[in-house]
Every structure is written in C-alpha cells, then in structure tokens.
Structure 1
C-alpha cells in the first residue's frame, strides 16, 4: 500500500499523490472503465468543436460517470476526486496516456 498523509494533512505534490492515485485504481475493470470514459471525453470534446457546443456539457458527465461506476462497483472505494479534484483529473489523464502509449497495462 502506498503511504498516505497523516489524518488532516494533504499530499504536497502531484508526484507524491500519483502513486496513491494508481493504487486506488488497482482493479483492472475500474482502470478500463476510466480509460473508456476518458476516451469518450475526447470524443465529446471533438463533437463539441464540430457538431454542437452542447457536447461540451457531456464531457464531465461521461468522464465522472464512467470513473465513479468503476470506483463504486468494481474498486469499491471513494474516488480521489472528492478530496483532490485537480490532482485526480491530472491523474486520469496521465493514466490514460500511459495506457494508450503502452506504458501501463489496459
């Protein structure tokens, strides 16, 4: 298990947070759902640029919807987004790019 800050304290950097983030995504199905959700966020972004700006509203719904299903039903933990919203979003994108580049197993 990765070390966590003492109760009441927070991670002081994204580099310290990321190992915790990865540990919270140890379930393969949860990780896969995250990757699919993030890919669909990209699709919604492109549709927002090319079809209708309404697709931009779908981006957080798709991204968080997929991620939270992964956490609540497969990982069975509380998403880091609730405590570390920006670093969690950064972690999502880093994990996505590590996966699509082959650095992390899908």
Structure 2
C-alpha cells in the first residue's frame, strides 16, 4: 500500500510539473509591443490557429525589431504576433 501511495504522489508531482512548464509565459517589454502595434505590415495567410507556441514555417517572413534581437514580429491572419526569431515560435499574440 505504501508503494502505491508513493507512486501516486510521484505521478501527481510529475504531471503537475509538466502543467506548470506549459503555462510559463514570457514577459515582453512594453516598447516591443508598442513598436509592433505601430508597424504597417501586410498580413500573411497561415493554415491553422495562430497561438502561443505555434511554430511558423520558413515561408513566413519574420520582421526584426530594432535593438531587440530576441523578438521578431509578423502579421498572420490579421493578427499581430511576437515571434522568437531563432525558433520561429509565437511568443505572444498582441492585442
């Protein structure tokens, strides 16, 4: 019985840790959001939902942000999104 309880607790903690890792957010500087909102960039079409964690294909051009090498942006399906330019993953949908 003791082994079963220990196993159950271990399973609960490992699942809980995975859930915490998935909900971690990136704190984006306000000036990055402001810059992205001010740009007049055309929207590109993307099949599927654009959400945090979505990896954009190489065919989508990611625009750079001056003095912010860790952030890029693109307008996808009429939504402005911040992107990690190294991984091409969406960091935030700017609203």
- What TM-score range do you get, normalising by the shorter chain? 0.3 to 0.5
Which of 1 and 2 has higher RCO (CA within 8 Å, sep 6+)? 1
TM-score of the superposition, structure 2-length normalised? 0.34
TM-score, structure 1 normalization: 0.31
- Structure in which a larger fraction of residues adopt helix: 1
